């Protein structure tokens, strides 16, 4: 299937130099297209060109948000088209989660997700998102085996996947890995509470930190990974009051998923919040739209119109002169 790659706009070379803008360019005669620090947009109605600033979100963006009491937004994505839509909606960060094992690959858990899976999907997201901070999950056994493996695999996610940061699960036990990865210049997001990669050890998908001992352990782990160098931590399926306490005691950003509204930010799997994944729906999910039903109806309408010949109609086809066809008989 052929698709045209649309250009944002074209502007004369002389005007770019006049405006003293810095661009990554493709040269065609005296024309230039596309830019890194800005995007040239062409209004086909007025014929005018304008520049839209592209401000890439960074780990500093997260920290400033916490300091200013502003909430951080994060959603998952696994492909170019979805990442582009999420980015254009202004979401702060996109997580290429190992949840892709469930919602994309159809696994019962996240254990089977590989480095190649995450790299493949992260690279696709990176091509679609220009402003959101891109965080890639480190899959099961990509960092638990050794500090060396952790650094090498984190590096692959950055270099091959074009991620801006990596995420790994665990508390004090993974602090050596966190220290080594951050020492290599790679930002790290932690993950505490319900850690899906440890689902077999946890005995199922259960709320974590409900007892005094468990809550104390969560706090100790959070402080430990903060000291090790993470710039943010995902708190999953943690009692709201405990998550609020952790958010108060930590200087890093807390991102909740089933952890109440006192966290510094929130994350959801986009298929969950759009009603596209019906195998099971966690309690903490709010469906902001029932896109799944809209999609099913559209698929059914497509089948109906193809079957009865209504699609494609003349407007969807291409013309050729009758005399050309006549000569072929």
The catalytic position among 236, 293, 315, 321 is: 236
With the CA atoms of 71, 74, 80 and 82 taken in that order, what torsion angle do they form, in degrees rounded to the nearest 10?
A: -90
A 10 A CB-CB count for 112 gives 13
- Tokens describing residue 33: 């297209």
Asked if 257 contacts 196 with a C-beta cutoff of 8 angstroms, the reply is no
Q: Is 293 a catalytic residue?
A: no
Q: Would you tell me how many other CB atoms lie within 10 Å of the CB of residue 200?
A: 9
In the three-class reduction of DSSP (H, G, I as helix; E, B as strand; rest coil), residue 98 is classed as: coil
> Which residues on adjacent β-strands are paired with residue 134?
94
d(CA 23, CA 268): 35
Contact 273, 95 (CB under 8 A): no
Sheet with 26-28: list strands edge to edge.
10-12, 31-33, 26-28
Total residue count of the chain as it appears in this document: 329
* Phi/psi of residue 10, nearest 5 degrees: -130, 140
Q: Which two tokens stand for residue 228?
A: 């090790």
Report how many helices (DSSP H) and strands (DSSP E) the chain contains, helices first: 13, 13
* Dist. CA 90–CA 73, nearest whole Å: 9
Both tokens assigned to 37: 């620090």
Query: With contact defined as beta carbons under 8 Å apart, do 31 and 12 qualify?
Result: yes
Annotated catalytic sites, by residue?
Answer: 236
């Amino acid at each position: 299937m052929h698709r045209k790659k649309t250009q944002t706009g074209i502007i004369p070379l002389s005007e770019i130099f006049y405006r003293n803008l810095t661009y990554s360019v493709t040269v065609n005669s005296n024309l230039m297209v596309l830019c890194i620090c800005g995007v040239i947009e062409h209004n086909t109605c007025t014929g005018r060109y304008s520049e839209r600033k592209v401000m890439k979100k960074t780990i500093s963006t997260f920290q400033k948000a916490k300091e200013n009491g502003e909430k951080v937004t994060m959603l998952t994505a696994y492909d170019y088209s979805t990442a582009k839509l999420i980015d254009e909606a202004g979401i702060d960060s996109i997580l290429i989660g190992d949840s892709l094992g469930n919602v994309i690959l159809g696994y019962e858990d996240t254990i089977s997700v590989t480095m190649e899976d995450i790299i493949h999907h992260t690279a696709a997201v990176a091509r679609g998102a220009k402003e959101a901070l891109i965080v890639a999950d480190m899959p099961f056994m990509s960092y638990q085996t050794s500090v060396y493996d952790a650094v090498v695999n984190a590096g692959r996610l950055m270099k091959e996947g074009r991620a801006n940061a990596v995420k790994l699960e665990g508390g004090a036990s993974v602090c050596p890995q966190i220290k080594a990865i951050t020492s290599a210049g790679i930002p790290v997001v932690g993950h505490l509470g319900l850690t899906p990669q440890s689902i077999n050890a946890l005995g199922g998908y259960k709320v974590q930190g409900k007892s005094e001992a468990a809550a104390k352990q969560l706090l100790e782990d959070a402080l430990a990974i903060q000291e090790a160098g993470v710039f943010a931590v995902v708190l999953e399926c943690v009692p709201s009051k405990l998550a609020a306490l952790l958010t108060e005691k930590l200087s890093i950003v807390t991102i909740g998923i089933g952890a109440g509204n006192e966290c510094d930010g929130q994350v959801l799997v986009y298929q969950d919040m759009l009603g596209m994944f019906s195998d099971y729906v966690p309690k903490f999910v709010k469906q902001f739209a029932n896109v799944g039903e809209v999609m099913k109806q559209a698929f059914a309408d497509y089948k109906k119109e193809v079957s009865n010949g209504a699609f494609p109609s003349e407007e969807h086809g291409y013309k050729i002169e009758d005399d050309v066809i006549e000569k072929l008989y």
